[in-house]
Amino acid sequence: MQSEKYPISGKFLLGRLRHAMTEHEEDLLEGLFDAVEEAEHEQVLMQRGQLYDKSTMLIEGFAMRTIQHDGNTQIVGFQVPGDFIDLHAFALKRLDHSIVALGKTKVAYVPHNRLHKVMDQEPHLARLLWFSTLLDAAIHREWIMKLGNLRAIGRGAHFLAEVYRRLEMVGRAQAGSFDTPLNQRHLANICGTTPVHINRVVRDLKEAGLAEFQRGHVTIINRQALEKEGHFDPSYLYGEGDFAIGDELDIGQAD
Amino acid sequence: MQSEKYPISGKFLLGRLRHAMTEHEEDLLEGLFDAVEEAEHEQVLMQRGQLYDKSTMLIEGFAMRTIQHDGNTQIVGFQVPGDFIDLHAFALKRLDHSIVALGKTKVAYVPHNRLHKVMDQEPHLARLLWFSTLLDAAIHREWIMKLGNLRAIGRGAHFLAEVYRRLEMVGRAQAGSFDTPLNQRHLANICGTTPVHINRVVRDLKEAGLAEFQRGHVTIINRQALEKEGHFDPSYLYGEGDFAIGDELDIGQAD
DNA sequence: CGTTCCCTTGAGTAGTTTCAATACTTGTGG
DNA sequence: CCACAAGTATTGAAACTACTCAAGGGAACG
């Protein structure tokens, strides 16, 4: 599989526009990165406000995007393997938020000057990189929907359904379950509630036969019911078959 | 000013990276667009799921991004003049959300094939376009923070503070006030509450001497207190002076 | 000048938070 | 291998925030 041939970038856009990448582009992308590094749980990978001249591919493990204000930390994003987690630092230079590793993670960095060359010489690949940053934006929008429209149980259900689907796309989900570095405090933060309340939500999800959230492990008991409870429609993840992007349109060819 | 020389794209990135555009790029960008068109209040400019081969510059008026689910509509974004409101349709091809005009608006369209040429031949301008889509993502993240962390009054205060600042950047704010096509139903939706409750919030904001929200007009009474109530830190808008982007780094030059 | 949409207010209820106390897990050192 | 500490999860009760239902008032538009 792609993960073996491309140990660093093999999961990038997997299940989405991966098939739109030429072999030349896959080789090129893989070659952009410096050596693989490891990061510990809760290690800050990128700090809000700092200047960066490199961006990060998440190879193994998880990460979260956080915004601080008055001692409070809000989790505003969750990243899985294959995510180019701070590619936007290339265009923004400074990040408006921090990126923190969750669990043991493997990452690889690409210096921005190499991305400049891609912009100059590989417009099609550049556009795929752009696409991947817009996927994050689409997920952000769905989180806004989730927080603005759903009660706590729906938010919890939506998040679990989303993560399961995203892990599935990059081959990191087992049948009906996945491992996670999140605890109930993280989950509460992501769902915009308190840990005490999310604990009752977790109990309710289990009692309703939708999903189980245990330390480090999530079991999807009834996927369809879970997705319904969370009003989860996966098309915003732009998976293959959802919006079927790239099938009817050639991406990146100037005409 | 730029608005006179460039009637269509003159407000694009104004107050942010506008100064990083060369005159050549400003001319080029202006020339990309077809004739200016008008749109009515609540007119759907772009429909979720449809295929598009053009993108839209918002010249005058406002627009909102909406996600539908089960008859419910959630507003997940708010756009002001100078916003390239669906540039992401260029990379995504289909949108995960709809874009709806608010009030009388003027827009102009650019066919995607012209953007292809920009990608191929103008990597620096392409990167500025990319930057502008990432600004939207940064605003999305802040909305997630707002919904996840603040109570209703803080959310209302945050939104008013943000819009005032954004309008200021494109020269569309008067001293301490601005006009808006939003009613309290919109405001409630944006803040993730009910109209009845936001009505009480509006009253509280007025009684606390922070801001007034009247039909079509918002008055900022005490900006500092309003921003404090909303935990509003404008740096995520990447205005001049905030993260001071582009000053210490050359943007877009491959080295 | 009436219709319609929007705003406003009140009262009861539901959802969520806060505070507090207890149990369970995991890791560490004796 | 057990004891302890620290973090995490669970439960209960009271307080609060926000929602729902309902009705009345005000502004805008034809």
Q: How confident is the model at residue B244 (pLDDT cuts 50, 70, 90)?
A: low
Is A137 touching B (CB cutoff 8 A)? yes
The answer to whether the beta carbons of residues B251 and B236 sit under 8 Å apart is: no
Nucleotides of C under 7 A from a protein CB: 6-11, 15-20, 25-26
E strands along A138-253, which residues?
177-179, 211-214, 217-220
Q: Which residues of B touch A192 (CB under 8 A)?
A: 147-149
pLDDT digits (tens, 9 = 90+) for B121-179: 999 999 999 999 999 999 999 999 999 999 999 999 999 999 999 999 999 999 999 99
Could you report the per-residue pLDDT of A38-83, keeping only the tens digit for each?
999 999 999 999 999 999 999 999 999 999 987 799 999 999 999 9
Helix (H) or strand (E) holding B74: strand B72-79
Q: How far apart are CA A168 and CA A241, in angstroms?
A: 14
Q: Write out the DSSP string of B123-149.
A: HHHHHHHHHHHHHHHHHHHHHHHHHHH
B92 close to B56: Cβ distance less than 8 angstroms: no
Tell whether the model's pLDDT for residue B254 goes beyond 50: no
Instruction: Give A255→chain B minimum CA distance, Å.
Output: 6
Which of helix, strand or coil describes residue B105?
strand
Each residue's pLDDT tens digit, A174-224: 999 999 999 999 999 999 999 999 999 999 999 999 999 998 899 999 999
Chain A partners within 8 Å of B197 (Cβ): none
Q: pLDDT tens digits for B195-234?
A: 999 999 999 999 999 999 998 899 999 999 999 999 999 9
Identify nearest nucleotide to residue A151 by CA to C1′ distance.
C15
Give me the pLDDT at residue A244, please: 53
Cβ contact B188:B194 at 8 Å: yes
* Prediction pTM value: 0.94
The span from the CA of A30 to the CA of A6, in Å, is: 6
Residues 54-93 of chain A whose Cβ lies under 8 A from any Cβ of chain B? 65, 67, 69-70, 72, 74-77, 88, 91-93
Q: Is B186 an 8 Å CB contact of chain A?
A: no
- Reported as a pLDDT band with limits 50, 70 and 90, residue A242 is low
DSSP-derived letter for residue A48 is: T
CB–CB of A112/A51 below 8 Å?
A: no
Separation of CA A40 and C1' C16 in angstroms? 34
